[in-house]
């Protein structure tokens, strides 16, 4: 490669990484640990408008993973007119933390978005929490779990989202459920299934019938309890699919679940009729 081409490549990479840096905001710092939200605005972003927001929490058992898990979802829904956030949170492999710290971070993220709604261009009454597996647990827990708030959080700002989009979420952390060996008796205060209450946000719940971590019967019971407290819960079952079936690498199921999410958000009035954007 000659020097001119090399300079060109360096400039392209530099601009790319600068662009990435401009798309993330620091929402929380604990000692030397900095946690960011990667922001994906609609293509024709208008600062005079108030857009719905969607924050995604990655999966990984509260052990690993990173915010790029839902990058393709964020790209799609930002094109549909939603400001999307890919959230960092502390995990055991990176920060030597427990699931409780992960939940504290998820609640802090939503509080940050709601507190800064005006400067971010967001309607604070249309915040959607989403996630897969342990990230689905975090999304649901921001709606149901009262404890596990960071000491530095302003708890007068609600962390409860206005809608939930859950991809095979681990919503039962009790005996026999996912994560019980790590949370123990705290499950009574930590498990979404055990803390559903009146006012629960409208929810769409995606699950494969061959999921070994989230039994279909658990999901059906979740839907039953949601409906008993007067909240909407759409349960979408996908035959013979396992855990993580919705991920981008399984494109056909990714496409189907994104389409169903789009229809669900239209029904809430968060999106215009469509979808008018190709799912890629």
pLDDT tens digits, residue range 29-40?
999 999 999 999
- Strands 33-40 and 24-30, bridge-based pairing: antiparallel
Using DSSP's 3-state secondary structure scheme, residue 218 falls into helix
Strand partners, 28: 35
pLDDT tens digits, residue range 81-111?
999 999 999 999 999 999 999 999 999 999 9
- Please report where in the chains the tokens 């490669």 appear, as a residue: 1
Q: Where are the domains of the chain?
A: 32-267
The CATH number of domain 32-267 is 3.40.630.10: no
- 8 A C-beta contact, residue 275 and residue 259: yes
Is residue 124 within a helix (H) or strand (E), and if so which, with residue range?
strand 122-132
DSSP code of residue 60: S
Distance between CA atoms of 100 and 186, rounded to whole angstroms?
10
Using DSSP's 3-state secondary structure scheme, residue 192 falls into helix
The dihedral sign for the CA sequence 148, 149, 150, 151? negative
Q: What's the pLDDT at 11?
A: 43
Q: What is the CA radius of gyration of the chain?
A: 19
pLDDT tens digits, residue range 106-138?
999 999 999 999 999 999 999 999 999 999 999
- 8 A C-beta contact, residue 202 and residue 164: yes
DSSP H helices in 175-250: 180-183, 187-190, 216-228
This prediction has a pTM of: 0.91
Distance between CA atoms of 274 and 263, rounded to whole angstroms?
8
- Strands 233-238 and 83-87, bridge-based pairing: unpaired
Using DSSP's 3-state secondary structure scheme, residue 7 falls into helix
Residue 16 confidence (pLDDT) above 90:
no
Strand partners, 130: 56, 165
Distance between CA atoms of 177 and 167, rounded to whole angstroms?
17
- 8 A C-beta contact, residue 145 and residue 151: no
* Residue 17: band (very low, low, confident or very high) from pLDDT cuts 50, 70, 90: very low
pLDDT tens digits, residue range 246-275?
999 999 999 999 999 999 999 999 999 877
pLDDT tens digits, residue range 192-231?
999 999 999 999 999 999 999 999 999 999 999 999 999 9
């Amino acid at each position: 490669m000659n020097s001119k081409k090399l300079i060109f490549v360096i400039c392209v990479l530099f601009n790319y990484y600068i662009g990435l840096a401009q798309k993330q905001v620091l929402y929380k710092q604990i000692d030397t640990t900095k946690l960011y939200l990667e922001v994906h605005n609609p293509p024709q972003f208008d600062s005079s408008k108030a857009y719905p927001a969607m924050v995604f929490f990655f999966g990984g058992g509260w052990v690993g993973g990173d915010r790029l898990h839902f990058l393709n979802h964020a790209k799609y829904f930002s094109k549909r007119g939603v400001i999307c956030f890919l959230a960092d949170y502390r995990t055991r492999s990176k920060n030597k933390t427990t699931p409780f710290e992960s939940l504290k971070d998820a609640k802090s993220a939503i509080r940050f978005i709601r507190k800064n709604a005006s400067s971010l261009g967001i309607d604070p009454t249309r915040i959607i929490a989403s996630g897969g597996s342990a990230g689905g647990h975090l999304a649901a827990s921001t709606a149901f779990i009262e404890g596990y708030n960071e000491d530095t959080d302003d708890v007068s700002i609600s962390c409860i989202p206005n809608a939930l989009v859950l991809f095979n979420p681990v919503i039962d952390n009790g005996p026999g459920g996912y994560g019980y060996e790590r949370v123990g008796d705290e499950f009574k205060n930590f498990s979404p299934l055990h803390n559903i209450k009146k006012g629960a946000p409208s929810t769409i719940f995606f699950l494969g019938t061959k999921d070994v971590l989230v039994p279909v019967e658990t999901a059906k019971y979740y839907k039953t309890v949601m409906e008993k407290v007067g909240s909407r819960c759409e349960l979408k079952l996908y035959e013979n699919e396992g855990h993580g079936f919705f991920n981008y690498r399984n494109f056909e199921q990714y496409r189907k679940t994104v389409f169903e999410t789009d229809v669900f958000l239209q029904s809430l009035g968060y999106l215009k009729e469509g979808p008018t954007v190709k799912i890629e």
